[in-house]
Copies of this chain bind each other. A is one copy, B any other.
Amino acid sequence: MENKILIKDALILNPRNDKEFEIKKSSLLIENDKIAKIDKNIDENSASKIINAKNKILMPGLVNTHTHLSMTLFRSLADDLNLDSWLNDHIWPIEAKLNKKYCYAGALLGAVEMIKSGTTTFSDMYFYMDGVAEAVDKAGLRSVLSYGMIDFGDSEKRKKEIKESENLYKNFHNTADNRIKVFLGPHSAYTCSKELLESVRKKANKYKTGIHIHMNETKKEIEDIKESTGMLPFEYLNDISFLNDDVVAAHGVWLSNNEIDLIKENNIKISHNPCSNMKLSSGIAPINNLIENNICVSLGTDGASSNNNLDMFEEMKFASLLQKVDTFNPKALSAEETIKIATLNGAKSLQLENEIGSIEVGKKADIILIDCDSANLTPNNNLISSNIVYSANGSNVDTTICNGKILMENKKLSFLDEKEIYLNANENIKKLKEN
């Protein structure tokens, strides 16, 4: 039987570019993986499943454009530390012992957390990405996967890293009912050689896919690049003809005016990760400035290990409030603008704007429902966007649908066994620490 889900009487919030959001009471019909109809009157007989969405907000599933899902295993492993000590003494030693099995266990745990908090699409960069792809396939989410390449100038390592990335592309791009896309993931300008970055640019052009890279996260890395190249990071990437509109740069905390010009000219996408930048004391990204320059900013949680969760609702509140206090302007990053960066702009950054990011007929049915009958969303003073950004957290998500498939309904997972996944995660991190 065809998959036909009727969501009845919802309060539909539809983020739009350069326009006020559309908010209306209506019903929505999903046919297979797509939104087939939005109308107040849809025949119930046409549906194989009916969801009553009275007093529920229906909005696009959130898009998390920068994370390391398998690192969910490292949640609260090490905190309140300098970045150096956190990486050198804790994260890197344990990462050296990872394998596909561990990465699958961490990714599946992260997938459960995302489903429960309303994220339907994420962009990941890590190792053992075949394990992550398996978790994505099983969990029913949408994702853009990148293998994190690092060569530190070693040409043997470089060849291996490129081969690993090409294998990931060949094996997984457009798999899992097209829910998985593969980008290229050079880790950063300070861990990848010029040769590796140039090779990545060629491969991205060849495969017509995107690039996911960490950029300008800490002051230190910028000083290091300036010392080695005489240029600031984006200037250096511009110099080697790396920059193009297919690049998603995570962080962008420290940016010179000239770099902002380069980002704008090349239509680079910036993934903003406020919780991670705050927790690691990296700094405050000039998001308001970027948006005023019409640069496409999206939102990411970074790994759970430096956040320490994957809740995009919380991330929205952090993003908005941080810009307001940093610019002394309470109008900065309004609730509507914040929802836009967490949905539409995410879709655009991941080259998925024709498929997801808004509620329109013909788009993929990546949809979440938020129950307004909750203490923290009462009363209903009509500022739907305010309630979503400033009052809600991920636990207000009631139903999560991705690619037309119900992953969670009434806060119950449809087919994943969460207790087993928690148990498995606990066992895996225990083994990893003992080894």
**Which residues between 373 and 387 of chain A lie within 8 Å of chain B, taking CB atoms?**
373, 375-376, 378-383, 386-387
Residues of chain B contacted by A280 (CB below 8 angstroms):
324, 330
Q: Which residue of B lies closest to A276 (CB)?
A: B321
Residues of chain B contacted by A327 (CB below 8 angstroms):
281
A321–B278 contact, CB under 8 A?
yes
Q: Known contacts A82-B330, A390-B307, A393-B311: does B281 contact A77 (CB below 8 Å)? A: no
Give the docked Cα–Cα distance between A358 and B155 (Å).
58
A88 at the interface (CB under 8 A from B): no
Residues of chain B contacted by A425 (CB below 8 angstroms):
378-379
Give the docked Cα–Cα distance between A75 and B117 (Å).
22
Chain multiplicity (copies): 2
Q: Interface code A152-185, partner B: CB below 8 Å = 1, 0 otherwise? A: 0000000000000000000000000000000000
A277 at the interface (CB under 8 A from B): yes
B331–A81 contact, CB under 8 A?
yes
**Which residues between 302 and 345 of chain A lie within 8 Å of chain B, taking CB atoms?**
304, 307-311, 314, 317-318, 320-322, 324-325, 327-332, 334-335
Number of chain A interface residues as a range: 35 or more
A264 at the interface (CB under 8 A from B): no
B75–A330 contact, CB under 8 A?
no
CB distance from A139 to the nearest CB of B (A): 12
Q: Write 19 A-B pairs (CB below 8 A) sorted by A numbering.
A: A75-B387, A76-B390, A78-B383, A79-B386, A80-B335, A80-B386, A82-B331, A109-B375, A109-B378, A278-B324, A281-B327, A281-B328, A281-B332, A304-B391, A307-B390, A375-B422, A379-B425, A381-B429, A393-B394
Other 14 A-B pairs with CB < 8 A, given A309-B391, A379-B429: A76-B390, A77-B383, A79-B335, A83-B330, A113-B375, A278-B322, A279-B321, A280-B330, A283-B328, A309-B376, A373-B422, A381-B429, A393-B393, A395-B395
